[in-house]
Amino acid sequence: MSYPEPRYLGERGQASALFRPAPPQPDTGSGGTNISYVAKQENTNGEFGLYKIDMAPKTMGATEHFHRTISESFYVLSGEVRLYNGERWVTGGEGDFLYVPPGGLHAFQNDSDDPVSFLLLFTPGASREEYFEKVEKYSQRSREELKAFRIRHDQYNTTDMLED
Protein backbone atom coordinates (compact mmCIF):
# COMPACT_ATOMS: atom_id res chain seq x y z
CA MET A 1 0.00 0.00 0.00
CA SER A 2 1.30 3.42 -0.84
CA TYR A 3 0.67 6.80 0.68
CA PRO A 4 -1.80 9.21 -0.96
CA GLU A 5 -0.51 11.94 -3.24
CA PRO A 6 1.15 14.78 -1.30
CA ARG A 7 -1.15 17.63 -0.33
CA TYR A 8 1.56 19.83 1.16
CA LEU A 9 4.31 20.67 -1.28
CA GLY A 10 6.43 23.04 0.80
CA GLU A 11 9.99 22.21 1.81
CA ARG A 12 10.13 23.18 5.48
CA GLY A 13 6.69 22.54 6.95
CA GLN A 14 4.49 25.19 8.49
CA ALA A 15 2.96 26.18 11.81
CA SER A 16 -0.61 25.04 11.24
CA ALA A 17 -1.51 22.69 14.10
CA LEU A 18 -4.75 23.22 16.01
CA PHE A 19 -4.87 22.79 19.78
CA ARG A 20 -8.26 22.58 21.43
CA PRO A 21 -8.35 22.56 25.22
CA ALA A 22 -10.96 20.32 26.81
CA PRO A 23 -14.18 22.32 27.23
CA PRO A 24 -15.64 22.65 30.74
CA GLN A 25 -19.04 21.43 29.47
CA PRO A 26 -20.16 19.23 26.56
CA ASP A 27 -21.12 21.10 23.41
CA THR A 28 -24.60 19.59 23.24
CA GLY A 29 -26.64 16.77 24.66
CA SER A 30 -30.01 15.49 25.78
CA GLY A 31 -31.72 12.38 27.06
CA GLY A 32 -28.71 11.08 28.99
CA THR A 33 -26.22 11.65 26.16
CA ASN A 34 -23.62 14.45 26.12
CA ILE A 35 -21.56 15.22 23.03
CA SER A 36 -18.27 17.12 22.92
CA TYR A 37 -17.03 18.37 19.56
CA VAL A 38 -13.37 17.32 19.67
CA ALA A 39 -12.61 18.18 16.02
CA LYS A 40 -15.28 19.53 13.69
CA GLN A 41 -14.88 19.12 9.94
CA GLU A 42 -14.25 22.85 9.61
CA ASN A 43 -11.18 22.44 11.85
CA THR A 44 -9.80 19.48 9.86
CA ASN A 45 -10.37 20.86 6.34
CA GLY A 46 -13.14 18.30 5.91
CA GLU A 47 -10.85 15.32 6.49
CA PHE A 48 -12.72 14.03 9.54
CA GLY A 49 -15.01 14.88 12.42
CA LEU A 50 -14.23 13.56 15.91
CA TYR A 51 -16.76 13.58 18.75
CA LYS A 52 -16.71 12.34 22.34
CA ILE A 53 -19.94 10.74 23.47
CA ASP A 54 -20.82 10.27 27.14
CA MET A 55 -23.93 8.21 27.81
CA ALA A 56 -25.68 7.69 31.13
CA PRO A 57 -26.68 4.17 32.19
CA LYS A 58 -29.60 2.58 30.32
CA THR A 59 -29.56 5.20 27.55
CA MET A 60 -30.84 4.55 24.04
CA GLY A 61 -28.45 5.69 21.33
CA ALA A 62 -28.98 5.57 17.59
CA THR A 63 -31.29 2.94 16.10
CA GLU A 64 -30.23 0.86 13.07
CA HIS A 65 -29.11 3.13 10.22
CA PHE A 66 -26.46 3.66 7.56
CA HIS A 67 -24.69 6.54 5.82
CA ARG A 68 -24.15 6.85 2.08
CA THR A 69 -21.24 9.30 2.10
CA ILE A 70 -19.33 8.84 5.36
CA SER A 71 -17.77 6.08 7.39
CA GLU A 72 -18.26 5.99 11.15
CA SER A 73 -15.85 4.54 13.69
CA PHE A 74 -16.34 3.90 17.40
CA TYR A 75 -13.54 3.72 19.98
CA VAL A 76 -14.58 2.92 23.56
CA LEU A 77 -12.80 4.98 26.22
CA SER A 78 -14.55 3.61 29.32
CA GLY A 79 -17.57 1.54 30.26
CA GLU A 80 -19.43 -0.78 27.93
CA VAL A 81 -21.53 0.11 24.90
CA ARG A 82 -23.72 -2.20 22.84
CA LEU A 83 -22.84 -1.89 19.16
CA TYR A 84 -24.79 -3.35 16.27
CA ASN A 85 -22.36 -4.34 13.51
CA GLY A 86 -24.98 -5.02 10.83
CA GLU A 87 -25.33 -8.68 11.76
CA ARG A 88 -25.49 -8.84 15.54
CA TRP A 89 -25.12 -6.86 18.75
CA VAL A 90 -21.67 -6.93 20.37
CA THR A 91 -20.49 -5.42 23.63
CA GLY A 92 -17.63 -2.98 23.26
CA GLY A 93 -15.45 -2.22 26.26
CA GLU A 94 -12.44 -0.02 26.93
CA GLY A 95 -10.09 -0.09 23.93
CA ASP A 96 -12.55 -1.82 21.59
CA PHE A 97 -13.06 -0.40 18.10
CA LEU A 98 -15.77 -0.73 15.45
CA TYR A 99 -15.36 0.58 11.89
CA VAL A 100 -18.49 1.03 9.75
CA PRO A 101 -17.88 1.82 6.04
CA PRO A 102 -20.39 3.83 3.98
CA GLY A 103 -23.53 1.73 3.60
CA GLY A 104 -22.78 -0.36 6.69
CA LEU A 105 -25.72 -0.95 9.01
CA HIS A 106 -25.03 -0.02 12.63
CA ALA A 107 -26.58 1.16 15.89
CA PHE A 108 -25.51 1.75 19.49
CA GLN A 109 -26.93 2.02 22.99
CA ASN A 110 -25.90 1.78 26.63
CA ASP A 111 -27.70 -1.20 28.17
CA SER A 112 -25.46 -1.28 31.23
CA ASP A 113 -25.94 0.12 34.73
CA ASP A 114 -22.83 2.28 34.31
CA PRO A 115 -21.98 5.29 32.14
CA VAL A 116 -20.01 4.82 28.93
CA SER A 117 -17.67 7.13 27.08
CA PHE A 118 -16.51 6.65 23.49
CA LEU A 119 -15.18 8.51 20.47
CA LEU A 120 -17.03 8.75 17.16
CA LEU A 121 -14.96 9.43 14.06
CA PHE A 122 -16.65 10.39 10.78
CA THR A 123 -14.62 10.40 7.55
CA PRO A 124 -14.59 12.41 5.49
CA GLY A 125 -15.64 15.18 7.81
CA ALA A 126 -19.32 16.04 7.75
CA SER A 127 -21.19 18.76 9.63
CA ARG A 128 -22.72 16.43 12.23
CA GLU A 129 -23.15 19.22 14.78
CA GLU A 130 -26.55 20.34 13.46
CA TYR A 131 -27.72 16.73 13.45
CA PHE A 132 -26.66 16.21 17.08
CA GLU A 133 -28.17 19.51 18.18
CA LYS A 134 -31.55 19.19 16.45
CA VAL A 135 -32.41 15.49 16.11
CA GLU A 136 -34.37 15.45 19.38
CA LYS A 137 -36.41 18.47 18.26
CA TYR A 138 -37.13 16.84 14.88
CA SER A 139 -38.17 13.59 16.56
CA GLN A 140 -41.09 15.54 18.05
CA ARG A 141 -42.26 16.55 14.56
CA SER A 142 -43.98 14.54 11.84
CA ARG A 143 -42.36 11.35 10.49
CA GLU A 144 -41.89 13.09 7.13
CA GLU A 145 -40.04 16.04 8.68
CA LEU A 146 -37.84 13.72 10.76
CA LYS A 147 -37.04 11.56 7.74
CA ALA A 148 -36.17 14.63 5.62
CA PHE A 149 -33.93 15.94 8.42
CA ARG A 150 -32.14 12.60 8.67
CA ILE A 151 -31.62 12.34 4.91
CA ARG A 152 -30.27 15.92 4.81
CA HIS A 153 -27.65 14.66 7.28
CA ASP A 154 -26.85 11.39 5.46
CA GLN A 155 -28.64 9.29 8.09
CA TYR A 156 -30.83 6.56 6.63
CA ASN A 157 -32.74 4.77 9.38
CA THR A 158 -33.98 1.34 8.42
CA THR A 159 -37.34 2.08 10.06
CA ASP A 160 -37.76 4.95 7.58
CA MET A 161 -37.08 2.55 4.69
CA LEU A 162 -39.79 0.14 5.90
CA GLU A 163 -42.38 2.93 5.76
CA ASP A 164 -41.78 3.65 2.06
Orientation of helix 143-152 relative to helix 129-138, angle to 10°:
170
Domains defined for the chain, CATH in brackets: 28-127 (2.60.120.10)
Where residue 69 falls (left for φ over 0; alpha for ψ -120 to 50; beta otherwise) is alpha
- Using an 8 Å Cβ cutoff, are 89 and 80 in contact? no
Return averaged pLDDT per consecutive 10 residues of the chain, 164 residues in all.
90 93 90 94 93 96 96 98 97 98 97 97 92 92 94 91 60
Number of residues in the chain: 164
pLDDT of residue 164: 54
For residue 161, what pLDDT is reported? 66
DSSP-based three-state secondary structure for 129? helix
